[in-house]
Structure 1
């Protein structure tokens, strides 16, 4: 019955595609599909936001507002354990950094994403964040939207470039819907996801972003993830303070990035999934028990600081009695800034589902409030704490994500105005420049670039990275045993069309190679043919290649050795040979295909 339904769907789909080709141009169809993806991404964002806030509301009914809350020890631990269980046994996929996985799909998997990612991240992130995981919803919903775009493009048999654009449309629609910020959605897609796509693809992104926002407005109204109405304008005389603060935001971004690497890498050394989840969940719970604002996304804390309700920061904390003292508030917020990256790293590293979008905004907001409040207290200035809080969100986000334009327009849009555009530009630019001095790549791309799974701006390396070494290994070379005689080898020469003969022992290990040039002079000497043993005339190959090796590394070996053929060895066993000419041929085909698409 299932096969019959599948066959019927395939038939209908084929008829639709034929009709589409006859009646709708490729460009128009791309725009229509972009709109659909925007609508679906917007709907997914609404569902995820509503689900998470419902979970949080239900769980917080049992929390004491002004006292010690032992339930904080249970919620994050249960959330991460449940997330790991669902991801491992229900969806059978690993989580990690969602944006990184999108970039990997574009770079190494022809922009094809698993179908399960159209909904898996919604479920797992709802559990993680709902139970207090110290991460954000933005990355999971971007993964969801991107997967919708990728799979819809695949369903409609679109090529790699259009599939990549529609993947970006899903990301744009998701960001637009969750923040009610259509311009930010487009810029995020162009700046973070589609760095290699031409600006001519701007229109589909714009349509998807607008459609995503419309869905959110219809279903949620003004109840979006985060918004704030500006009450104070920018004062030009405060420019010097913003310049100093921009450099501070860059250093805070660097701290966030480095601590994330250390703690996430540390907890991932625990190989047992549930053991890692238990250790990470319990550690996170202890942090949240001490610093309740770290619970969940943290947007409520930012909103409280923006309107001056600093006492709200101490809600659910055993330190509530100190909320009346400004010094204690500043110290408390500084401590939160120090441990927030640890909490985020533990959440993701332990197996939770979420992103660093919200944590970077949280860190920036607290940094701006601490900077302005401290300056007002010590230097007797009158800096706007709300303005610095907002600009700080922009600065740290710009540094952590390496996305200055996205950060600028996000804060401009969620504040419904461009009053702060000048300080936003200054702080974003300085923060980005500061962290770029220490970290050339964003937290999303660094690991991919280090492993060779993402290559930016180098077209030759990008095309090379698309070549699968395993598919171009040559296995038609005739092998010879090291104890065989030259006469046995001559018999192979008569059968072979190649001039290289791998010398392989009984354990399938490569001991050396013999070329036709090595035996040309002695192969017609009867005495040599009978007495010379192969292992006495073989030579060691100049280098060896692994099937898992990156193509750029392979080309470097060819360059260093000046060889045209190198043996491929897998776990000590001989597999075959790879030739430079075969690589060039595969490169040419990939380049032609990319140009055609």
Structure 2
């Protein structure tokens, strides 16, 4: 009670002395700091776990392939018995909360995904830390907004601040953090919303500068810039990365779908974790996030690929093309490992793996050119970094984020033109096959996310359960017309549902069905509900989305439809009440 009293006094003081605009700026800055701390802490915690395993066992240890299994098992135990939160897809969950839950994210998500991802990724699971960081930052934004009694529209902006801060804090890329929040998280951004996002991203970047260990940051200084003669090579790679992005999405989705066919979570864990261990045993390079591997490839160290110890290694000197083939298989297996990690219940995202696979694709393309030309005409580091940009654009459908992120982690804009080329071509190529991003596809297919249709956006936040009318008086099949007329004097409605003993709807009767005979005394005794009732033109369920319900109203021309759940009558839904609720929702949004 004391805490609530202090909070109340703070809010009262704020209303008197701090404008809403300035208060949002303050909260955005605070959330940026917290999101930056989350990002830096998570990265450091995962690095600590990896170092501890390396010091104790060594990554060359014969049982190294079992670490991901152990990490997934710990994640399962944490999620099931301690944290009580499913791992899921972090960024997709954020978009769902914004679209369907008025930007309310569960309090447990301020820490649950962060904790679980430490064990999933720290023990070698092929997943990224970006999604857990973004979800944690967004959850902080949502819950701080709720604590401060911020409305849903401003709460959405604070969620965006958390997302921007997380990306900025991970990569020390403040511009990319802002653009990511705009491209991926926020559907609409006004000019006034830029400032809180900028502050959140800048403060998270300052946290990174202050607290982060530079040795575990992903950063590479590009020494050779863009040469016009290299344009065809970048163009070809951008298109190729678009196809790789489609492959990545298909393999990850199908791997997850295959594992989720097993209904029990522990069985899914066993199947996915064992499959991941087999992949790691065959291709040790898929172990973990993969940024260390990309950093080594950028400096020319290919030992991290474990090519020499693979089946291809013994003939590698005699047949240089075997390295190209090995890289192609490694790209595929890294994708499979990501799908198995997430499908088995691991906590992480596809953001990091897509960047790593992009880097591997760039390296593959460089070695392919090297094999064909004798010497790669484009610097290998440039192809690796532009490959990362292309894959991010083709998977996340965030081309501007991809451009500015790689520009920032390479220390400048030396590659800006090729980054624009590959980003545009990869996005265009991938979108020919998949119209929606990896984050939005499932939500859009379920009708839970409608970004470009304002009417459907408003309808999507309206819940049928809150609009059901239950004041209609029911009758049974054997009720006489006289009995029905007695209800007419009591009812304010002209519709009477006909129910059986188990409250199943068997028909409906309207006033028009007996208007001509209602004063006929003989009919009042001899005509029964079963003689008057007729079937409704359609039925709706309490959990249907409103867009589908409105299609039923339009198709049937009805103004009232019964609501049926599990075969049982619940009530009626009227078009007029939906229109009133729709108008009220528009008014609330305009006020916010």
The 1-side partners of 2:292 and 2:330 are apart by: 15
Match of 2:586 in 1: 591
Query: In the alignment, does 2:498 pair up with 1:527?
Result: no
Match of 1:4 in 2: none
- Pick which of 225-234 and 397-406 moved more: 225-234
The 2-side partners of 1:462 and 1:246 are apart by: 34
The 1-side partners of 2:192 and 2:309 are apart by: 52
TM-score under structure 1 length normalisation: 0.96
Query: In the alignment, does 2:287 pair up with 1:304?
Result: no
The 4+ residue runs of structure 1 with deviation greater than 3 A are 62-65, 315-326
The 2-side partners of 1:43 and 1:383 are apart by: 38
The answer as to whether partners of 2:67 and 2:123 remain within 8 angstroms in 1 is yes
The answer as to whether partners of 2:476 and 2:500 remain within 8 angstroms in 1 is yes
Query: In the alignment, does 2:551 pair up with 1:556?
Result: yes
The 1-side partners of 2:446 and 2:221 are apart by: 44
Instruction: Name the Cα RMSD after superposition.
Output: 1.5
Alpha-carbon distance, 1:569 to partner = 0.3
Match of 1:245 in 2: 237
The 2-side partners of 1:281 and 1:318 are apart by: 22
Q: 45, 66, 79: which one pairs with 2:39?
A: 45
- Pick which of 305-314 and 464-473 moved more: 305-314
The answer as to whether partners of 1:365 and 1:389 remain within 8 angstroms in 2 is yes
With over 3 angstroms needed to count, the CA separation of the structure-2 counterparts of 1:168 and 1:583, relative to structure 1, is same
Query: In the alignment, does 2:474 pair up with 1:479?
Result: yes
Match of 2:402 in 1: 407
Alpha-carbon distance, 1:60 to partner = 2.1
The 2-side partners of 1:596 and 1:409 are apart by: 35
Match of 2:266 in 1: 274
The answer as to whether partners of 2:78 and 2:116 remain within 8 angstroms in 1 is yes
SS at match of 2:564: strand
Match of 1:138 in 2: 130
The 2-side partners of 1:184 and 1:88 are apart by: 35
Query: In the alignment, does 2:72 pair up with 1:80?
Result: yes
* TM-superposition CA deviations, 1:461-486 (whole Å, max 9, x none): 01001111001100000000012211
Query: In the alignment, does 2:432 pair up with 1:440?
Result: no
The answer as to whether partners of 1:323 and 1:329 remain within 8 angstroms in 2 is no
TM-score under structure 2 length normalisation: 0.97
Map 1:28-107 to 2 at 5 A. Answer: 28-63=22-57, 69-107=61-99
SS at match of 2:348: coil
The 1-side partners of 2:103 and 2:555 are apart by: 33
Query: Which runs of no fewer than 5 residues in structure 1 stay unpaired?
Result: 1-6
The 2-side partners of 1:317 and 1:509 are apart by: 68
The 2-side partners of 1:462 and 1:224 are apart by: 42
The 2-side partners of 1:105 and 1:71 are apart by: 41
The 2-side partners of 1:518 and 1:242 are apart by: 73
The 2-side partners of 1:221 and 1:309 are apart by: 22
Alpha-carbon distance, 1:72 to partner = 3.1
Query: In the alignment, does 2:331 pair up with 1:340?
Result: no
Alpha-carbon distance, 1:219 to partner = 1.0
* TM-superposition CA deviations, 1:425-445 (whole Å, max 9, x none): 000000000111111100100
Alpha-carbon distance, 1:259 to partner = 1.1
Alpha-carbon distance, 1:75 to partner = 0.9
The answer as to whether partners of 2:497 and 2:508 remain within 8 angstroms in 1 is yes
With over 3 angstroms needed to count, the CA separation of the structure-2 counterparts of 1:223 and 1:204, relative to structure 1, is farther
The answer as to whether partners of 1:290 and 1:317 remain within 8 angstroms in 2 is no
The 2-side partners of 1:498 and 1:228 are apart by: 72
The 1-side partners of 2:190 and 2:545 are apart by: 27
The answer as to whether partners of 2:255 and 2:336 remain within 8 angstroms in 1 is yes
SS at match of 1:478: coil
Match of 2:13 in 1: 19
Map 1:366-385 to 2 at 5 A. Answer: 366-380=360-374, 381-385=376-380
Match of 2:208 in 1: 216
The 2-side partners of 1:415 and 1:390 are apart by: 8
The 2-side partners of 1:71 and 1:31 are apart by: 51
SS at match of 2:214: coil
Alpha-carbon distance, 1:456 to partner = 1.0
The 2-side partners of 1:109 and 1:223 are apart by: 40
The 1-side partners of 2:308 and 2:196 are apart by: 45
SS at match of 1:566: strand
Alpha-carbon distance, 1:195 to partner = 2.1
The 1-side partners of 2:212 and 2:308 are apart by: 28
Match of 2:419 in 1: 424
Match of 2:173 in 1: 181
With over 3 angstroms needed to count, the CA separation of the structure-2 counterparts of 1:317 and 1:198, relative to structure 1, is farther
With over 3 angstroms needed to count, the CA separation of the structure-2 counterparts of 1:15 and 1:493, relative to structure 1, is same
The answer as to whether partners of 2:285 and 2:304 remain within 8 angstroms in 1 is no
Alpha-carbon distance, 1:85 to partner = 1.3
The answer as to whether partners of 2:312 and 2:322 remain within 8 angstroms in 1 is no
The answer as to whether partners of 1:294 and 1:336 remain within 8 angstroms in 2 is yes
Q: 332, 349, 371: which one pairs with 1:355?
A: 349
SS at match of 1:341: helix
- Pick which of 377-386 and 324-333 moved more: 324-333
The answer as to whether partners of 1:322 and 1:328 remain within 8 angstroms in 2 is no
* TM-superposition CA deviations, 1:345-397 (whole Å, max 9, x none): 11111110001111101111011111121112113452211100100000011
The answer as to whether partners of 1:64 and 1:316 remain within 8 angstroms in 2 is no
Match of 1:293 in 2: 285
Match of 2:491 in 1: 496
- Number of residue equivalences: 589
SS at match of 2:331: helix
The answer as to whether partners of 2:312 and 2:323 remain within 8 angstroms in 1 is no
* TM-superposition CA deviations, 1:521-568 (whole Å, max 9, x none): 111111111111211211110000011111000000000000000000
The 2-side partners of 1:77 and 1:296 are apart by: 12
Alpha-carbon distance, 1:57 to partner = 1.0
* TM-superposition CA deviations, 1:230-270 (whole Å, max 9, x none): 12222110101111111101000000111111111111111
